């Protein structure tokens, strides 16, 4: 999938696309290859399904973690850095890209937008991808149709630099932007906590603000480390087992995350076991079955807020075959994080981790 909110309709070669996409973007193609049905877009761009708030308190000790109510805002560094350009950087697709100006920036993923804004360069951003749902970006024009980039829309805004990642498409749109002479940098997506600093550095270097990048990277990594310290000791010595489910009830999409779902790094940092991975699921996602859930035996279930809403909340969740028979289903134990931030692995990841820890170890919950 192109982001952590919604599936994009798959192309004709879904299996090949799935192998090429990073872990957090491949669920749609994986499902298509397995069960071969079309997916329906739901709730894109902050609309659609209402996102219920988790109501959990932030984990203590982070000094920065905020609740779900604040998760739609980014926290820029103090001041606006002055880009030192031109610079020449290497794109993830093997090209050399020279950037002469950062006056008009177009990031083509929500996570890249988040980094640019947090670096303090939000005023130079002239457009957004549909997945950039945080408050500071919401008034910007959208340059995607569904989840595909509109080259015409991008070019009409006369950008001086376009930021994409390896999942951005279609390829014809990327070629059209480059053919128009616009510098376009492709950034490797993130699959876990270890990728956060790398992506910040890459974007900051391309925009000519490496010092701001270093500051943001250090701030982000420090906050994540502080939140990790808040994981409580497990009373019985056993780590809670947590299954990550991707759900879109209106499209009959019910997926269980495996080794490459993208959530494993967060669950491990929260002191939990990724139940799907531990049960032997070596793919990114697989269709939910009663047998797979029984083998995973999760104590809690991690969900995106729109995913839970799409199946009718907790009462609807336990009606999915196999859920009610798991320890998580019997105890009605879920952990929910806003769709637009859960798998971004960027400057707000400390908040995501704090949300997971705060809910997972809430009084009377799993792990206590």
Mean pLDDT over the full length of the chain: 83
Q: Would you state the pLDDT for residue 366? A: 45
Q: Would you state the pLDDT for residue 70? A: 53
What's the pLDDT tens digit per position in 290-316?
Answer: 999 999 999 999 999 999 999 999 999
Residues 6+ apart with CB under 8 A from 53: 67, 68, 69, 305
Q: What confidence tier does 236 reach under pLDDT thresholds 50, 70, 90?
A: confident
Q: What is the DSSP string of 67-117?
A: -GGGTT---PPSS-------EEEE-TTS-EEEE---SSEEESSHHHHHHHI
Distance of CA 355 to CAs 6, 90, 227, 277, Å?
21, 35, 10, 21
Radius of gyration of the chain (CA): 20
Asked if 211 and 120 count as a contact pair (C-beta separation under 8 A), the reply is no
Inter-axis angle of helices 349-360 and 210-228, nearest 10? 10
Q: Would you state the pLDDT for residue 235? A: 73
Residue linked to tokens 């997926």: 255
The whole-angstrom separation of Cα 253 and Cα 7 is 9
Q: Measured at the alpha carbon of residue 75, what is the angle toward residues 74 and 81, in degrees to the nearest 5?
A: 115
Residue 283 has pLDDT above 80, yes or no: yes
Q: What percent of the chain has pLDDT over 70?
A: 79
CB-side neighbour CA atoms (13 Å) of 62 = 26
Residue 286 has pLDDT above 60, yes or no: yes
- Helix ranges (H only) for the chain are 14-20, 27-35, 110-116, 151-156, 171-179, 196-206, 210-228, 264-269, 275-278, 290-296, 305-310, 313-317, 327-331, 349-360
């Amino acid at each position: 999938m192109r982001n952590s909110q919604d599936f994009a309709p798959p192309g004709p070669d879904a299996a090949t696309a799935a192998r090429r996409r990073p872990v957090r973007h491949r669920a749609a193609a994986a499902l298509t290859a397995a069960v071969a049905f079309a997916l329906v877009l739901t709730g894109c761009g902050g609309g659609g399904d209402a996102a219920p708030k988790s109501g959990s308190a932030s984990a203590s000790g982070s000094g920065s973690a905020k609740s779900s109510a604040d998760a739609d805002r980014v926290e820029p560094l103090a001041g606006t850095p002055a880009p030192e350009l031109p610079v020449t950087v290497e794109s993830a697709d093997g090209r050399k890209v020279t950037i002469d100006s950062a006056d008009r920036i177009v990031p083509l993923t929500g996570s890249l937008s988040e980094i640019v804004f947090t670096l303090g360069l939000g005023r130079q951003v002239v457009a957004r991808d549909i997945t950039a749902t945080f408050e500071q970006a919401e008034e910007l024009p959208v340059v995607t149709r569904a989840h595909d980039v509109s080259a015409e829309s991008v070019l009409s805004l006369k950008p001086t630099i376009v930021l994409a990642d390896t999942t951005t498409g279609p390829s014809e749109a990327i070629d059209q932007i480059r053919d128009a002479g616009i510098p376009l940098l492709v950034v490797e997506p993130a699959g876990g906590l270890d990728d956060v600093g790398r992506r910040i550095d890459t974007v900051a270097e391309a925009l000519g603000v490496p010092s701001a990048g270093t500051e943001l990277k250090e701030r982000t990594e420090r906050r994540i480390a502080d939140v990790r310290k808040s994981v409580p000791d497990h009373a019985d010595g056993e780590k809670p087992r947590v299954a990550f489910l991707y759900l879109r009830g209106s499209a009959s999409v019910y997926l269980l995350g495996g080794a490459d779902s993208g959530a494993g790094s967060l669950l491990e940092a929260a002191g939990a076991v990724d139940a799907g991975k531990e049960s032997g699921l070596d793919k990114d996602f697989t269709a939910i079955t009663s047998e797979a859930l029984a083998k995973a035996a999760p104590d809690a279930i991690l969900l995106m807020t729109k995913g839970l809403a799409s199946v009718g909340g907790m009462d609807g969740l336990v009606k999915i075959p196999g859920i009610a028979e798991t320890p998580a289903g019997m105890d009605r134990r879920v952990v929910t994080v806003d769709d637009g931030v859960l798998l971004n692995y960027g400057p707000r990841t400390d908040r995501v981790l704090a949300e997971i820890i705060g809910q997972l170890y809430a009084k009377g919950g799993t792990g206590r």
